[in-house]
Amino acid sequence: MIKAEKIVKTYPSPAGPKTILRSVDFSMAAGEVCAVCGPSGSGKSTLLNILGLIDRPDGGLLHIGGREVSGLAPEEILKFRNEKIGFVFQHHFLIPELCVWRNIAYPGALREGGFSVKLKERAIELLEFLKLGRLAEEFPATLSGGESQRIAAARSVFNAPDILIMDEPTGSLDLDSKSDVINLILALNRVSNITVVIATHDDFIKKSCGRVFDLVPHLQ
pLDDT, greater one: 67 or 191: 67
> Which of 20-34, 175-189, 190-204 shows the lowest mean pLDDT across its residues?
175-189
- As for how many domains the chain has, the answer is 1
Tally of CB atoms within 10 A around 99: 17
Q: What is the DSSP string of 60-82?
A: EEEEETTEE-TT--HHHHHHHHH
pLDDT in tens, 3-58: 999 999 998 888 888 888 989 999 999 999 999 998 888 889 999 999 999 999 99
Q: Is pLDDT of 134 > 90?
A: yes
pLDDT, greater one: 28 or 171: 28
Q: Is pLDDT of 220 > 80?
A: no
Range of the domain at 103: 2-218
Q: Is pLDDT of 121 > 70?
A: yes
Per-residue pLDDT, averaged over 140-149, amounts to 90
Q: Is pLDDT of 219 > 70?
A: no
Tell me, what CATH number does 213's domain have?
Answer: 3.40.50.300
Rg of the Cα atoms in the chain: 18
**Bridge partners of residue 163, in order along the sequence:** 85, 195
Answer whether 20's CB lies under 8 Å from 59's CB: no
